[in-house]
Amino acid sequence: MSGYGPPERFNEEAATFTIRGSDAPDLQAGVAAIRNVLKTLPLKPGVYRMQDAKGEVLYVGKARALKNRVGNYVQIERLSKRIQRMVSQTRSMTIVTTNNEAEALLLEAQLIKRYRPPYNVLLRDDKSFPFILLRADHDFPRVQKHRGARKAKGDYYGPFASAGSVNNTLNALQKLFLLRSCTDGFFKTRDRPCLLYQIKRCSAPCVGRIDPSGYRELVSDAKKFLAGKTTDVQAKLGAQMQAAAENMDFELAAVLRDRLKALTFIQGTQFINAEGVGDADIFALACLEGVIGIQAFFIRGGQNWGHRSFFPSHTAEVSEEEVLQLFLMQFYEEVPPARTIFVDRDLPEAALLMEALSEQAKRKVEITVPQRGTRRRLLDQASRNAKEALERRLAESTTQSKLNREVADLFELAEPPERIEVYDNSHIQGTNAVGAMVVAGPEGFRKGQYRKFNIKQAATDDDFAMMREVLTRRFSRALEEDPDRDSGEWPDLVLLDGGRGQLNAAKAVLEDLGIEDVCLVGVAKGPHHGREGREVFHLMDGRELTLPVNAPVLFYLQRLRDEVHRYVIGAHRAKRAKAIGASPLDEVPGIGPARKKALLMHFGTGRAVRNASLEDLQKAPGVSASVAQTVYDFYHAH
Q: What is the pLDDT of residues 475-512, one digit of tens each?
A: 988 888 887 777 778 899 999 988 888 899 999 999 88
Distances (CA, A) of 47 to 107, 319, 434, 572: 7, 21, 44, 45
Rounded-to-5 percentages of helix, strand, coil across the chain: 45, 20, 35
- pLDDT attached to residue 8: 39
Higher pLDDT, 263 or 236: 236
Higher pLDDT, 313 or 174: 313
- Go through the domains of the chain in sequence order and give each one's CATH number: 15-115 (3.40.1440.10), 131-270 (no CATH), 280-300+311-323+332-391 (no CATH), 420-565 (3.30.420.340), 584-636 (1.10.150.20)
Cis omega (within 30 of 0) for bond into 193: no
pLDDT band at 271 (very low <50, low <70, confident <90, very high): very low
Listed in sequence order, the residues at least 6 apart from 73 whose beta carbon sits closer than 8 Å to its beta carbon are 31, 34, 79, 83, 87, 90
- Cα distance between residue 582 and residue 83, in whole Å: 56
CB atoms within 10 A of CB 432: 21
How confident is the model over 244-261, as a mean pLDDT? Answer: 73
Residues in the chain: 638
Please classify residue 40 by burial: count the beta carbons closer than 10 Å to its beta carbon, then call 0-12 exposed, 13-18 middle and 19+ buried. exposed
Listed in sequence order, the residues at least 6 apart from 510 whose beta carbon sits closer than 8 Å to its beta carbon are 471, 475, 516, 518, 520
Whether this model's pTM surpasses 0.85: no
Mean pLDDT of the chain: 81
Q: Which range (85-94, 227-236, 431-440, 601-610) has the least confidence?
A: 227-236
Q: Are 525 and 535 in contact (CB under 8 A)?
A: yes
Residue 303: strand, helix, or coil = strand
Q: What percent of the chain lies above the pLDDT cut of 90?
A: 24
pLDDT in tens, 414-436: 889 999 999 988 866 556 688 88
Please classify residue 75 by burial: count the beta carbons closer than 10 Å to its beta carbon, then call 0-12 exposed, 13-18 middle and 19+ buried. exposed
- Cα distance between residue 494 and residue 422, in whole Å: 6
pLDDT in tens, 60-109: 999 999 999 999 999 988 888 889 999 999 999 999 999 999 999 989 98
Q: Is 18 left (phi over 0), alpha (psi -120 to 50) or beta?
A: beta
pLDDT band at 11 (very low <50, low <70, confident <90, very high): very low
pLDDT band at 519 (very low <50, low <70, confident <90, very high): very high
- pLDDT attached to residue 113: 86
How confident is the model over 402-406, as a mean pLDDT? Answer: 89
Higher pLDDT, 512 or 265: 512
Q: Are 282 and 387 in contact (CB under 8 A)?
A: no
- pLDDT attached to residue 527: 60
pLDDT band at 287 (very low <50, low <70, confident <90, very high): very high
